[in-house]
Amino acid sequence: MARALELARRGVALAHPNPVVGAVLVKRGRKIGEGFHVYAKRDHAEIVALRQAGDKARGATLYVTLEPCCTTGRTGPCTKAIIAAGVTRVVAAMNDPNPAVAGRGFAELKRAGVKVALGIGEESARQLNQDFARWIRTGLPFVTLKAALTLDGQIAQRAGSATSITGSAAREAVQRLRHSADALLTGIGTVLADDPRLTDRSAQPRGRKLLRAVVDSRLRLALKSKLVKSARGDVIVFTTQRTDSPKARALERAGAEVFRMPSRAGHVDLQKVLRELGKREILHVILEAGAQLNGAALKSDIVDKVALFYAPKIMGTGGVPLASIPAASWFTKSPALKNLTMSRCGPDFLVEGYFHDVYGNH
């Protein structure tokens, strides 16, 4: 199963909008086939492993990170292929997270006389597909708020300024995080202050372009910004302004999509932004923004997970906090993060934790 999970990780940024899955076929203690899922190549991990094994699959055990499918979509059911190949035992890490089909694949295998075991490596498998699970159950993407902070919780020296806080190891970790996402979401304040490109610079292959999304209520995004100048159908601007205005048309001509959203208290409705991204088969969104949008996202309860990169530095008074939220209206009802982990990134450290489970519950 450890090898199957390792293979599944190779499908990150290649399998969406499908789940990442790895599979290994073993017979008499020896590996006879293995595979992982890549959306563009259609075949599921189990089929890749079965084809590699050929006739040797008869009597083998299949280790797979996700319950084999029993429905016909872009491909035929994996359960039928497993049964036809003569596999006698299937060991799966987790059920299919889609409640409409969960358990049906195992039931079909059992009816055909295939032995089934479930739960080995389950925690790792669930973490690999937490974004798929959220999307398939709710139609909404999984949202990770990422930020670099000093120990006293500051993200910049002053509003509207760019401040380098963490070191190279943390920046490399950010690129790996971006690689796992389908979209980056930022606010116009961050774009005006930093003029970022918001690209995946991990040098790892992607199945589709990383979508770069900007919340820009008043449509202030500059045509000369790095985002717009590098737009190739992978930049979308969510605004409350008319899409037939001269500025909107100029942005469209430059390669950015302008999408008008409903307004909530004069700002773009972030819940509606997520709903639109979900319709576009965006499973994982990373929020890389400033205090205003971070605060609005937390207040709107759209953040599922935080990834906070802390540098061992103190900024002092006058800096910009992680989130602009009045403490009097937020702190007493703020949900506590769960499943906290901490890891080192060179001299810095990363704290990760969850507000929601895959159903969106606290």
Count the neighbouring beta carbons within 10 Å of the beta carbon of residue 54: 11
Give the full edge-to-edge strand order of the sheet including 142-150: 257-260, 235-239, 211-215, 183-187, 284-287, 142-150, 305-311, 348-354, 338-345
> Hey, which residues are catalytic here?
46
At residue 108, what is the residue type? E
Count the neighbouring beta carbons within 10 Å of the beta carbon of residue 224: 9
Tell whether the torsion through CA atoms of 164, 203, 41 and 128 is positive or negative: negative
Q: Is the peptide bond before 17 cis (omega within 30 degrees of 0)?
A: yes
Q: Which of 272, 323, 275 is nearest to 299 (CA)?
A: 323
Helix (H/G/I), strand (E/B), else coil: 70 = coil
In degrees, rounded to 5, the angle at the alpha carbon of residue 147 between the alpha carbons of residues 6 and 362 is: 75
